[in-house]
Structure 1
Amino acid sequence: MYLLVFLHFLQSLLMAVHSCPASCACTYGSSGIAELRLVQCSDPGISAVPVNVPADTVKLRLEKTLISRMPRAAFYNLSELRYLWLTYNTITSIHPSSFVNLKALRELRLDGNLLTSFPWEGLRDMPRLQTLGLHNNRLSSLPAHAALFLPNITFLDLSSNRLTILPAELLDLWFPLPGQQGVSVQRRILGLHDNPWLCDCQISMLMSLSSSLGSPVVLMDQMLMCSRSLGQAGMLLTKAELPRCMRPSVQPAATRVMSPLGSNVILRCDATGYPTPTLTWIKTSTYTGCCQQGLFENSEELPKILESFMQESPRVGVRWSIISLNGLSYKDAGEYRCQARNMAGISEAPIKLKVMGITRLSRPLKKKVQKTPSKSLSKFKKPKQTLVISKSPPVLENNILTNIPPPFNNKTKRDSNLLSKVVQVYQVDKHVSQRKMNSANTKKKNQTLIKSVSEAPDNPTGALLSAALV
């Protein structure tokens, strides 16, 4: 019984592989090594992508049908598909995930549909895609991010659409500037004819570069038309007087910046050029001064393109950009380059940032600690000064001065010595006061004696005694 179930499953699988959808023609073509399955569906009654296309199909053509939209994962089971033609249908929208699992696809053609936009990010699901045909649609613009998904495309047909300008990012992709590192120059074939291009310097330079010897771009048709503004009649590009592109010029707000450790800094630069240049920040070196030696031994490799910055264009031909560095550390120090580029050239300006910091803090703190006890010690010098001024015997003064200990670094010992000094000064003051009192009493007694003797009549001895005591 299990054998019968297995045979039934195998038979259904073989029928799914080798069956052909209704209203389609399935044939085999030879590639020189093996036969390849080709499926073509051209019935005008087809309004959706067939679901039972054989899994080993290599080339699928859905042409002249009523298919209007491409749903999500429309060709998920066709992992061996290499050529997909969806030409001359009525397709108006394509889901960004319509081409999931088409890892082997090399050619995608969507000519003759009603597309007003194309999901360029969907090209990530087709890493081997080289040919993309969008001829005769209704595309009116190309987004700048389309350049991110077109590096492998060597044939791009955008002819017979409604395109007016090309983003600078696409021109940078097709015509890389000399000396750019990591850029592999591929020869590309472009179809740009039958579009109402604006007569600006971009389309003029495109024509000039494509006509130069050894150009990486070959135009399918050199007869491009352009107009001064939308809605005007076109003229041949070769006969129009077009403005010249201007290489960008960069002016930084400051070439040298010094800021303390932990502060916030904003670096700014302005650029002018035509077409309006784009700005990029690059850190090219680090600061390895005397106080930060060895700080950057394990730092990341430089130069490094920075991603966190802001730029705006207030008007055509002008662009400014700032980069904000918050909480500066020594690793932020170094040289920053503001790079401006357009299809006419590239320019850059350096800005050197130095981070200032305090390297030694111990010396000022020691000075501050030494000054504090001296002030407290001066409070206890007043009794000593009073003692020196008084007419006390010099022996007492010398004893007091010799008993004052020198200042110690230990606060506890210094306080105890100061306390003992105060006690000694108090005892000396008490002793001196007692002597003064005794002296005053003696003088008073002598004055009383002199008075009593002097009062005696005709007493010469009393007069002599009074004169001697005074």
Structure 2
Amino acid sequence: MYLLVLVHILQSTLLAVQSCPALCACTYGLVQCSDPGISAVPINVPADTVKLRLEKTLISRVPRAAFYNLSELRFLWLTYNSITSIHPSSFVNLKALRELRLDGNLLTSFPWEGLRDMPRLQTLGLHNNHLSSLPAHAALFLPNITYLDLSSNRLTILPAELLDLWFPLPGQQERPEQRRVLGLHDNPWLCDCQISMVMSLSTSLASPVVLMDQLLVCRRSLGQSGLPMTQAELSRCMRPSVQPAATKVISPLGSNVILRCDATGYPTPTLTWIKTAAYTDFATLYVPVMQESPRVGVRWSIISLNGLSYKDAGEYRCQARNMAGTSEAPIKLKVVGISRLSPLPKKKSKKPRPKSSTKHMKPNKIPAPTNTPPLKDNQILQNIPPPSINKTQTAPNLLPKVFPKDKYIKRRKMNFTNAKAPTSIRSTPEPPGNSTTAPLSEKLV
């Protein structure tokens, strides 16, 4: 009994998967629904559908996850309906989708971020809608699109980010350059250097972009009638020029620093801050604290660094870009540490040199002569400087080295008087005996 119920459920599921929606035709992976009575996206489309066409119906909106069970879908045509809104998550699980066409609807905007759910998408058709602008972030989701039809809308300008994507400067493309087909005709373009750059680059032989229709119409202002691009006088683009407030900044550890740069160019350039570490090649993208454009063709930007550390040191590059080119200016930041200054040692007061008088000289401060030949006994007394004392002192065992050993000297005293008076050495007479010594009296030099 249990097996019979299980088989019945499986058969019902298979029949539901293989069933074809009402007012639609299903043949070999193709489902086509073009009845005017259809007002909503069918929910029972077979799971093995490869191509789904919903055309000329009354469908006005595409809900969230409208095609979630169609993981094998490769072609989705929603053309010439009355669609005014598309949910950003309408295309979830369409990982195999190659082509999406929304021509002939009433779209005033398109959820560009929804393209992330279709990584293999190559063809996007938005012909004959009411699109009046293209956001700059659309360029983030269009790298894989090789066919983009934006013709017959209400577009007036192209963001610089799209032009950088379609016409990359040499050395900026991350992958091999691929050809793209663009439909830009039948839009009220403003006569500026951007649309003129598109025209001039697309007509070159090595251009990566091919226009479906070379005849573009532009207007000098939104209120004027259109002129063919070949007859309009278009302003020329000017490559950006960057001027930093300072090229080298030295700041102490823990301080706050503001870096600023100004750029001029036409169209008005966009500014980006890139930092390279002092000892590595690792680059960091900095978000500016403030960035403004006071007038057309001029933009300035600042970044703030609070509480500097050594890792903040390095080179900061202010990069300006527009469709005419890229320029940048480096700012080198050096972070220095704060060290406490030790007090300078006090200078010792120099004592005045003593005069030639022997009054101020001490006998203990006698410098020992170096590298001189040994003195004879009779020369020692001549090389001893006079003492600087006023009292009579006993000579410290100097005289016994002067006299010959065969003479007996019992005791002698050295009497030192005033430095100006001559200094003499007196010897006591020897006790009476067989030998006598002559009294010695010398003048010290």
Please give the range of the TM-score, normalised by the shorter of the 2 chains: 0.7 to 0.9
**2:161 aligns with one of 148, 169, 174:** 169
Cα distance in 1 for partners of 2:43, 2:142 equals: 29
Q: Deviations over 1:313-346 (max 9, x none)?
A: 1111010011111111111111111110100011
Query: What amino acid sits opposite 1:354 in the alignment?
Result: K
Query: What amino acid sits opposite 1:4 in the alignment?
Result: L
Q: Which residue of 1 aligns with 2:213?
A: 221
Query: What amino acid sits opposite 2:301 in the alignment?
Result: S
Query: What amino acid sits opposite 2:40 in the alignment?
Result: A
Alignment partner of 1:253 is 2:245: yes
Residues 181 and 204 from structure 1, CA distance in 2 versus in 1: closer, same or farther, beyond 3 angstroms?
Answer: closer
Cα distance in 1 for partners of 2:177, 2:124 equals: 19
Task: Tell me the matched-pair count.
Answer: 346
Q: Which residue of 2 aligns with 1:131?
A: 123
Q: Which residue of 2 aligns with 1:404?
A: none
Q: Which residue of 2 aligns with 1:61?
A: 53
Q: Which residue of 2 aligns with 1:20?
A: 20
**1:324 aligns with one of 301, 304, 326:** 304
> Which one has a larger percent helix, Structure 1 or Structure 2?
1
Deviation at 1:17, TM superposition (A): 2.1
Q: What are structure 2's unaligned runs of at least 5 residues?
A: 347-445
Deviation at 1:214, TM superposition (A): 1.0
2:11 partner SS: helix
**2:97 aligns with one of 94, 105, 108:** 105
Q: Is the 8 A contact 2:121 2:145 kept in 1?
A: yes
What pairs with 1:242-281 in structure 2 (closer than 5 Å)? Answer: 242-281=234-273
1:80 partner SS: coil
Q: Which residue of 2 aligns with 1:381?
A: none
Computed over aligned residues only, the root mean square deviation of the Cα atoms, in angstroms, reads: 1.6
Q: Deviations over 1:136-183 (max 9, x none)?
A: 000000111111111111100000000000000100111111122635
Alignment partner of 1:282 is 2:274: yes
Q: Which residue of 2 aligns with 1:416?
A: none
What pairs with 1:412-431 in structure 2 (closer than 5 Å)? Answer: none
Q: Is the 8 A contact 1:21 1:50 kept in 2?
A: yes
Q: Is the 8 A contact 2:277 2:311 kept in 1?
A: no
2:97 partner SS: coil
Alignment partner of 1:346 is 2:338: no
Deviation at 1:354, TM superposition (A): 1.2
Cα distance in 2 for partners of 1:285, 1:210 equals: 39
**Which stretch has the larger CA shift, 303-312 or 168-177?**
303-312
1:97 partner SS: coil
Q: Which residue of 2 aligns with 1:395?
A: none
Cα distance in 2 for partners of 1:83, 1:310 equals: 45
Cα distance in 1 for partners of 2:21, 2:253 equals: 72
**2:224 aligns with one of 229, 232, 239:** 232
1:320 partner SS: strand
What pairs with 1:72-221 in structure 2 (closer than 5 Å)? Answer: 72-180=64-172, 182-221=174-213
Cα distance in 2 for partners of 1:350, 1:312 equals: 20
2:80 partner SS: coil
Residues 154 and 309 from structure 1, CA distance in 2 versus in 1: closer, same or farther, beyond 3 angstroms?
Answer: farther
Deviation at 1:303, TM superposition (A): 3.2
Deviation at 1:284, TM superposition (A): 3.0
Q: Deviations over 1:392-439 (max 9, x none)?
A: xxxxxxxxxxxxxxxxxxxxxxxxxxxxxxxxxxxxxxxxxxxxxxxx
Deviation at 1:231, TM superposition (A): 2.9
Cα distance in 2 for partners of 1:99, 1:108 equals: 10
Query: What amino acid sits opposite 1:208 in the alignment?
Result: S
Deviation at 1:356, TM superposition (A): 1.7
Residues 224 and 279 from structure 1, CA distance in 2 versus in 1: closer, same or farther, beyond 3 angstroms?
Answer: same
**Identity across matched positions, percent:** 84
Q: Deviations over 1:103-127 (max 9, x none)?
A: 1111100000000111111111111
Q: Which residue of 1 aligns with 2:6?
A: 6
Query: What amino acid sits opposite 2:23 in the alignment?
Result: S
TM-score, normalising length from structure 1?
0.71
**Which stretch has the larger CA shift, 229-238 or 247-256?**
229-238
Q: Is the 8 A contact 2:263 2:300 kept in 1?
A: yes
Query: What amino acid sits opposite 2:206 in the alignment?
Result: G
Cα distance in 2 for partners of 1:223, 1:101 equals: 39
Q: Is the 8 A contact 1:136 1:159 kept in 2?
A: yes
Deviation at 1:285, TM superposition (A): 4.3
**2:286 aligns with one of 303, 306, 321:** 306
Query: What amino acid sits opposite 1:97 in the alignment?
Result: S
Deviation at 1:72, TM superposition (A): 0.8
Query: What amino acid sits opposite 2:9 in the alignment?
Result: F
2:3 partner SS: helix
Deviation at 1:307, TM superposition (A): 3.4
Cα distance in 2 for partners of 1:259, 1:6 equals: 77
Cα distance in 1 for partners of 2:172, 2:133 equals: 28
Q: Is the 8 A contact 1:176 1:183 kept in 2?
A: no
Cα distance in 2 for partners of 1:114, 1:349 equals: 46
Cα distance in 2 for partners of 1:218, 1:154 equals: 10
TM-score, normalising length from structure 2?
0.75
Q: Is the 8 A contact 1:262 1:327 kept in 2?
A: yes
Q: Is the 8 A contact 1:158 1:192 kept in 2?
A: yes
